[in-house]
A = this chain, B = another copy of it.
Amino acid sequence: MNIDLKNQNLSTREQVYNILKDQILSLKLPPGTNISEKEISVQFNVSRTPVRESFLKLSQEGLLSIYPQRGTFVSLIDLNLVEEARFMREHLEKAVIRLACQEFSEELIIDLDMNLSMQKICVKKKDYKKMFELDEEFHRTIFKRCKKEKTWLVIQQMNVHFNRSRMLRLVTDYNWDNIFSQHIDIFKAIQDQDANKAEKIMEEHLKIALVDKELLKKEYPNYFK
């Protein structure tokens, strides 16, 4: 299977990186898969250098495991890391939502209001793919307006393992109506600058994304550490 790179704005390295990351996160390259610099460079019709540099970056993110002179493998999903990502996200989201209530900003209200009106449409149309993006956007906006954008990025990076395990379940299983109404409640709490209430709703809100780790491990034993 040959893949043509075409985007002239991005370097070869960045394009290869993006494609590989996407394939790993979407499980097209399942955990444990053996890949080599040579193999990928032939597939993409580029030299080994940009491929190798992509490999290094992905290994730093914990998505590839490189064993010198032996081989490179797609990392197994580490359930401890999944738990740590959940832990980090919970506590940082709670802290940021308090901040959002305390340092009330009109821009945040406007951004969230727009986002929520689009969410409303998506819920009605049952457009769950778009709804998934709006959900992410909703949370990112809060971090961004509280000047905690890098914090959000760090959480996202920790979340790569979690996202892979979440791919094993159907996204459409979510109760989007419930999620939407919680977003509304968070929005109202910010407007009322009620930090305690906001934090409490957020805590409940994040519990929805929990996955049954032991169940997954039983179903896909080869994918986990």
A59-85 near B? 1/0 per residue, CB < 8 Å: 010000000100000000000110110
- Which residues does chain B contribute within 8 Å of A151, judged by CB atoms? 84, 87-88
CA distance in complex: A81, B152 (Å): 12
Instruction: Using CB atoms, name the residue of chain B closest to A81.
Output: B150
- Which residues does chain B contribute within 8 Å of A150, judged by CB atoms? 80-81, 84, 158
> Are A68 and B147 CB-contacts (below 8 A) given A57-B60, A95-B91, A158-B154?
no
- Which residues does chain B contribute within 8 Å of A35, judged by CB atoms? none
Instruction: Using CB atoms, name the residue of chain B closest to A56.
Output: B53
If over half of A's interface residues share one DSSP class (helix, strand or loop), that class is named, otherwise mixed; here it is: helix
Instruction: Using CB atoms, name the residue of chain B closest to A146.
Output: B87
A34 in the interface (beta carbon within 8 A):
no
Contact pick for A56, options B57, B68, B83, B154, CB 8 Å: B57
A92 in the interface (beta carbon within 8 A):
yes
- Which residues does chain B contribute within 8 Å of A94, judged by CB atoms? 91
A63 to chain B minimum Cβ distance, whole angstroms, is 13
CA distance in complex: A214, B18 (Å): 39
Q: List 26 A-B contacts (CB under 8 A).
A: A11-B68, A53-B53, A53-B56, A56-B56, A56-B57, A57-B60, A80-B147, A80-B150, A81-B150, A83-B147, A84-B147, A84-B148, A84-B151, A87-B95, A87-B148, A87-B151, A88-B92, A88-B151, A88-B154, A91-B91, A91-B92, A91-B94, A91-B95, A92-B92, A154-B154, A154-B158
Given pairs A80-B147, A87-B95, 13 additional interface contacts (CB within 8 A): A53-B56, A56-B57, A57-B60, A83-B147, A84-B147, A84-B148, A84-B150, A87-B151, A88-B154, A91-B91, A91-B94, A150-B158, A154-B154
